[in-house]
Amino acid sequence: MSGREQCWVIHNEVIDLPPKIGLSQQELTERHHQFIHDLDAKGLLVGAGPFLDDIGNRFGTGMIIFRAATRAEAEKIANSEPYIAHGTRRLKLVPWQRIAGH
């Protein structure tokens, strides 16, 4: 890879008192996983996964790294992530330039 590739990191936060939504936690999680698979199918996904401690227990949420040329494009993609779109997580969108890796 030559040059820098503009990417974005979704590093969201859980909302302490999330709104009531018409989906079960399982349905929301399935939609979240489908969102990630859709990014991958479109060639936009760089990586995604949960945060784990040294013994494999989850903590926090996780992060998704994806490609987008502009902040506006990145915000549109990030705001369509199901947890964020349904208001159960707060978006933290951070620009990241990839210069190495696959």
Residue 82 structure tokens = 């199901």
What pTM was computed for the model?
Answer: 0.89
Give per-residue pLDDT as tens, 9-32. Answer: 998 888 888 899 999 999 999 999
- CATH code of 60's domain: 3.30.70.1060
Structure confidence at residue 101 as a pLDDT band (50, 70, 90): confident
**Who's near 90: CB < 8 A, 6+ residues apart?**
12, 13, 14, 15, 84
pLDDT of residue 92 exceeding 80, the answer is yes
pLDDT confidence of residue 34: 98
Domain with 34, as residue range(s), is 5-98
Q: Number of folded domains in the chain?
A: 1
Longest dimension (CA), the chain: 46
CB 9 within 8 A of CB 64: yes
> Residues 89, 12: contact at Cβ < 8 Å?
yes
